[in-house]
Amino acid sequence: MRRSSTPLVVILILLLAAALGVAWQNAKPFATPKQGENSEMQASATETQLGAISPVRAAGEPEADAAPSPAEDADPAHYRRAYLLSLDSGKLSLENTEDIQGDFAMRRGPQEEWSGMLRCRLVSEEGKVLAEELLPAPDHLCTVLDSYDGTPKPVSYTVAGPVMFQLRLPRLAAATRLDISRITGPGALARDIPVGSLSLTSP
């Protein structure tokens, strides 16, 4: 009796159909988005790119969050005004002023005074002393005993020509002039000799 080959043929046909189905699924093209969906995707991408761009600040334009520096009556520990002064043969002149900012240490006690120093004071219109600063004499180098001719004697060496120096004082709206004098004499006998008075008000 001869065996029937029908079941084997059926199995081969089913395997072939399954293989064709898998191949067709792999070869199926991707679905393209509709026109409306494509427009929305492009708009979203454009917004993302625009959002990533930061605004460019023009050259010289101050930053928005930078606080302006106070001009008058500011904390002297952080804000001061620098005066550039010239002293030429006893003649005092104001060359320039500039507002500066930093950490300025406050003195714990009075400054030590000695002969030749400059006493610099900010004075109000009523003559009240608002601030004071002492500076070493910028136009006096030293005094020595010169024995070149055999007899020691004090000799003062001074700087030839005009001397430029800087003075830093608090920013005070009530200050109308800057008075500078020179301390002469030792200890209790010292007295102030006026050097010059500079107006701080606009002409």
pLDDT tens-digit profile of 179-194? 999 999 887 888 999 9
CB 162 within 8 A of CB 138: no
CA nearest neighbour of 116 among 154, 151, 71: 154
Please state which of the ranges 11-15, 47-51, 111-115 shows the lowest mean pLDDT.
47-51
Structural domain includes residue 74: no
Give the integer Cα–Cα distance in Å for 20 and 26: 10
Structural domain includes residue 4: no
Eight-class DSSP state of 147: -
Task: Supply the range of the domain harboring residue 94.
Answer: 79-199
Output the pLDDT for position 19: 78
pLDDT tens-digit profile of 122-177? 999 999 999 999 998 887 766 666 656 667 666 666 667 788 999 999 999 999 99
Asked whether the predicted pLDDT for residue 53 surpasses 50, the reply is no
Asked whether the predicted pLDDT for residue 50 surpasses 90, the reply is no
Eight-class DSSP state of 68: P
Structural domain includes residue 1: no
Output the pLDDT for position 2: 52
pTM comes to 0.57
Structural domain includes residue 126: yes
Structural domain includes residue 44: no
Structural domain includes residue 43: no
Residues with Cβ within 8 Å of 93's Cβ and at least 6 positions away in sequence, in order, are 85, 86, 196, 198
pLDDT tens-digit profile of 67-116? 555 667 677 778 899 999 999 888 999 999 999 988 877 777 777 888 88
The count of domains in the chain is 1
Structural domain includes residue 141: yes
Give the CA distances from residue 41 to residues 31, 44, 47, 49, 174, in Å, rounded to whole numbers and listed in that order: 15, 5, 10, 13, 66
Asked whether the predicted pLDDT for residue 62 surpasses 80, the reply is no
Structural domain includes residue 195: yes
Q: Are strands 79-88 and 153-158 parallel, antiparallel or unpaired?
A: unpaired
Is residue 20 very low, low, confident or very high in pLDDT (cuts 50, 70, 90)? Answer: confident
The residues that bridge with 85 in the sheet, in sequence order, are: 94, 165
